[in-house]
Amino acid sequence: MCSAFHRAESGTELLARLEGRSSLKEIEPYLFANEDSPVLGDILEFHGPEGTGKTEMLYHLTARCILPKSEGGLEVEVLFIDTDYHFDMLRLVTVLEHRLSQSCEEVVKRCLGRFFLVYCSSSIQLLLTLYSLEAMFCGHPSLRLLIVDSLSAFYWIDRVNGGESVNLQESTLKKCSQFLEKLVKEYRLVLFATTQSIMRKTSHLREGPSSAFTHPSDAGVDYRPYLCKAWQQVVKHRIFFSKDDSKTSNQFSLVSRHLKSNNLKKHFLLLEKVGLSFVHMYHKMVFLQDGVQVLKSL
Partner 1 sequence: MGLLRAGLCPGLTQDVVQLLRGRGIRTVVDLVSADLEEVAQKCGLSYKAGALQRIQVVHAFDIFQMLDALQDLRSTVAQQVSGSSGTVKVVVVDSVTAVVSPLLGGQQREGLALMMQLAQELKTLARDLGLAVVVTNHMTRERDSGKLKPALGRSWSFVPSTRILLDTGEGAGASGSQRTACLIKSPRLPTGFQETVDIGTWGTLKQSPALQGHPT
What is the footprint of partner 1 within residues 141-170 (CB under 8 A)? 150, 153-154, 156-157, 159-161
Among 198, 220, 261, 279, binds partner 1 (CB under 8 A): 198
Rg (CA), the chain: 19
Q: For partner 1, give the closer residue by CB, 55 or 263.
A: 55
Contact mark string toward partner 1, 67..106, x via CB under 8 A: -----------------xxx-x-xx--x------------
Shortest distance, position 167 Cβ to partner 1, whole Å: 16
Shortest distance, position 241 Cβ to partner 1, whole Å: 13
Shortest distance, position 90 Cβ to partner 1, whole Å: 7
Shortest distance, position 215 Cβ to partner 1, whole Å: 22
Contact mark string toward partner 1, 203..242, x via CB under 8 A: ---xx-----------------------------------
Shortest distance, position 262 Cβ to partner 1, whole Å: 28
Peptide bond into 197 cis (omega under 30): no
Contact 255, 287 (CB under 8 A): no
Site of interaction with partner 1 (CB under 8 A): 49-51, 55, 84-86, 88, 90-91, 94, 119, 121, 150, 153-154, 156-157, 159-161, 196-200, 206-207, 249-250, 271-273
